[in-house]
Chain A
């Protein structure tokens, strides 16, 4: 390896994706040419499993509570009708004050998260100051947009982004579509194959100023209801001790909620009769 020095005109600045393109490390850009199956005329939009679906098996949700935002994801990964992984993690820290959750094709999604994490840290180190939350959300949108050719192949990646805005001093949530468009949600959001069911539960149970335990209960209940309806979403697995990944982002930063605590909250929900009522 040599020291990556650039002439002033070709300097990638604080952009890590541009840097790895310039350095020839793979993983920065998506595969440009669609992978057409042998014999087909051209790599069209119809190749791949179905039309632009988000159905690679996942439900991730985020909601605001009194101290910031909470984010959660189920643990199941599917390959067609098979369960590929029972304990997959879909919620990641993006940097100290934000979190990203993924829905869609697992491989590209995890790679995108890795690139996103590196990008945020890289910017912060090169520039000496972290990006604003808005800036981070926009960055992620650009990565999703660059991934669009793969989305046409059925390998869509749709993230959910949430963080604590240190300037506004509040938690904020952003949702995305496959074209990289990002939209700020006021209070809660859910995406993935079971996103609709999760959203309904959250919508019914959410109110301003939820406390931490209430927020955890609500989000766990939302994932439970999603798993109840959607085959590609995994519910809590009491036998194996696998529960949803839950994390909070507050002024103190990203903090995962311990599996024991999630299990305990789930226990409380079961006692209360899980299916009905709100999480209050």
Chain B
């Protein structure tokens, strides 16, 4: 019987981290920012039906980058957790903090105990209420959880993009300004992103219980125009496109 070679724990962790980081870096990045009426989430995502940004509960949204099937599994678990909690207790008792902690625990557990770490980075955002501030929890592949105040950047290029975005962030800016800044930052100096390359959603204060809303392409195009050359805002919030082919199996595009 052969004995396995001894590998130092430091080395094991380092290898796993490298593996996860590589997987995440293959995908595109995502920016979340607080604006005057809520939280804006912008992802570079050419697919119309395989979402990176989704609704979890009335005031809670989920965003993930990395391997699609892995973060989608986490998203569904989040919806289940929130709906079960809201059903057993009350809608007010569902909060982002406890969900973020569960995610962090799970990711940490997988990172240390499983063969393969999850190649994902996720964000749980909750719209603030009267007297409560907005919350954004950024959870990394190994379970590290960071509480972000004004904005968060997820994905392979996060450091560069965060650096660029930091200089653009203004407190209390409106949706259009924040959106243009986020899209510009995601694109970088050399590229321009079209509405069809983007997935955008907001958690916005409004009259309805469910604060999550996707911005359809037509509205997005209108909002992305520079302020002066804008005529009318395109499109009213259309009913969500039918996500006919939501692929949830492991065969989903790995680098979404």
Contacts and interface: CB of A to CB of B under 8 A. Distances in A.
Q: Do A and B originate from a single complex? A: yes
Interface of A: 1-5, 16, 19-20, 23, 25, 27, 114-115, 118, 121-122, 125-130, 166
Contacts of A114: 87
A5 B106 contact: yes
Contact of A25 (B84, B103, B240, B246): B84
B97 interface: no
Interface stretch (B73-81, B125-133, B162-170): B73-81
A278 B243 CA distance: 46
B10 interface: no
A118 B83 contact: yes
Contacts of B77: 3-5
B92 interface: no
A125 B81 CA distance: 12
Contact of A129 (B83, B85, B105, B242): B242
A122 B239 contact: no
A125 B54 contact: yes
Interface in B166-185: none
B51 interface: yes
User: Which of B77, B80, B84 gathers the greatest number of chain A CB atoms within 10 Å?
Assistant: B80
Contacts of A125: 54-56, 79, 83
Interface string B226-241: 0000000000000110
Contact of B49 (A3, A128, A166): A128
Contacts of B240: 128-130
Given A128-B51, A129-B240, A1 B87 contact: no
Contact of B103 (A3, A20, A129, A166): A3
Closest 8 CB pairs of A and B: A128-B243, A4-B80, A3-B102, A125-B79, A122-B83, A3-B77, A3-B106, A129-B242
Considering residues B79, B85, B106, which has the most beta carbons from chain A within 10 angstroms of its beta carbon? B79
A19 B87 CA distance: 12
B86 A1 contact: no
A122 B73 CA distance: 15
A114 B87 CA distance: 8
Contacts of A118: 83, 86-87
Given A25-B87, A27-B88, 9 more contacts: A3-B74, A3-B106, A4-B84, A20-B84, A23-B80, A118-B86, A125-B83, A126-B80, A129-B240
B194 interface: no
Contacts of B239: 166
A59 to B, nearest CB: 28
A23 B84 contact: yes
A111 to B, nearest CB: 10
Contacts of B192: none
B81 A20 contact: no
Contacts of A19: 80, 83-84
Interface in B31-89: 49, 51, 54-56, 73-74, 76-81, 83-88
